[in-house]
Amino acid sequence: MWEPGSTGFMLLATSLVMLMTPGLAFFYGGLASKRNILGIMIQSFVSLGITTILWYVVGYSLCFSGNGAIFGNFDKMFLQGVDIHSVFAGNGLIPEYLFISYQMMFAIITPALITGAFTGRVSFKAYLFFLVLWQLLVYYPFVHMIWGGGMLATWGVLDFAGGIVVHTIAGFAALASVMFVGARRDRNTKPNSIPLVAIGTGLLWFGWYGFNAGSELAVDEVTVQAFLNTDVAASFATITWLIVEWRKEGKPKFVGLMTGAVAGLATITPAAGFVPVWAAAIIGIISGLGCYWAVHIKNKLRWDDALDVWGVHGIGGLIGTILLGVFASTAINANGTDGLLLGNTSFFVKQVIATTCSAIYAFVFTYIMLWIINKIIIVRVSEEQEQTGLDKSQHEEEAYT
């Protein structure tokens, strides 16, 4: 029988992570132009439905059953062999149904992160194909390889809550999408609603406590450590971004402040349950600096990553996973390992290699996938549809009349 305290906490954590997908929709919807608010928001909300169906049919099984190196197997398709009495074998503390639900929320939000890169340019039909194929060929393999007992887990790679599994692969998939789809014809559009961005940021920050602290899958000292580390890193990154942007542009920017918060949250994700609080503060500072300059470099290179998915999530996930290799300590989490600062050079090297390879894999496979989809359904909307806006041309709706 499962443990009631941990089960109750994980029900809350699962609900918090679910709330992050609407939060992401608000965040992206506020940053988009007023012609593309609904077009970007529906791409997050539709993942709640399609990803849930896909997860039930085959996703959970491919990620968490079997002993394959890259994929699981089909033993738990349609959740066969699992019922209300099944206990999650990973710790024996919560129902397996609850673990299935929690991991499903990660699967829902990860592909939705990518959509910020190609806002206003991709047809809804093409996105639906992308949503399914990207999970099957990119997301599921990395979940199994790291969290499902696959080759990276066997090698000793750690990722507490999704530095590689969520942020790195989504961020570099976003970059591949930008390269394939091309730039917007009108790149001078401004956010339509900064207050909407603020609501989205608040929901994301709030939900991230479930994202990170919940990844312990129990209630113990590591859960509390991850909770505090999440807030500390996000706060240090927020203020670092604010200061850097203020010095560079002469004014404190609210959008920049909120972008820095999301960058800090993404960066601490892989390390949240493995590092001490002082390391979380350093990770937050490095996140604010590194992600800000990634966005600056992206702008100089004129990559039209419209909502900075690569700079915030891709680079944030990469930085956080590598810094985990530096600051990890078994004094914080006995199920982890020691990092570079405690003399474990091999673990640091593994984190660097795993993160680099995951970024390359996600970029290459995403680009190839979009090329294949484009042979079936034209990925990019026409010039006329883009000028009209996706809200009207794709959905025949308007956010504001």
For residue 312, pLDDT beyond 90: yes
For residue 343, pLDDT beyond 80: yes
pLDDT of residue 188: 80
Is CATH 1.10.3430.10 what the domain over 4-384 is classified as, yes or no? yes
CA 359 vs. chain centroid, Å, equals 13
| Mean pLDDT confidence for 44-68 | 97
pLDDT of residue 363: 98
For residue 105, pLDDT beyond 90: yes
Domain ranges of the chain: 4-384
Sign, CA dihedral 363-365-369-371, equals: positive
pLDDT of residue 189: 84
pLDDT of residue 400: 87
Task: Calculate the CA dihedral of residues 134, 140, 143, 144 and round it to 10 degrees.
Answer: -150
Q: Tell me the helices (H) and strands (E) count for the chain, helix number first.
A: 17, 0
Would you call 95 helix, strand, or coil by DSSP? strand
For residue 1, pLDDT beyond 80: no
What's the chain's average pLDDT? Answer: 97
pLDDT of residue 65: 96
Structure tokens of 111?
């592909």
359-368 pLDDT tens trace: 999 999 999 9
Radius of gyration, CA atoms only, the chain: 20
| Mean pLDDT confidence for 253-269 | 98
- The whole-angstrom separation of Cα 80 and Cα 73 is 12
For residue 330, pLDDT beyond 80: yes
174-206 pLDDT tens trace: 999 999 999 998 888 889 999 999 999 999 999
What is the reported pTM? 0.97
For residue 251, pLDDT beyond 90: yes
Q: How many residues does the chain have?
A: 401
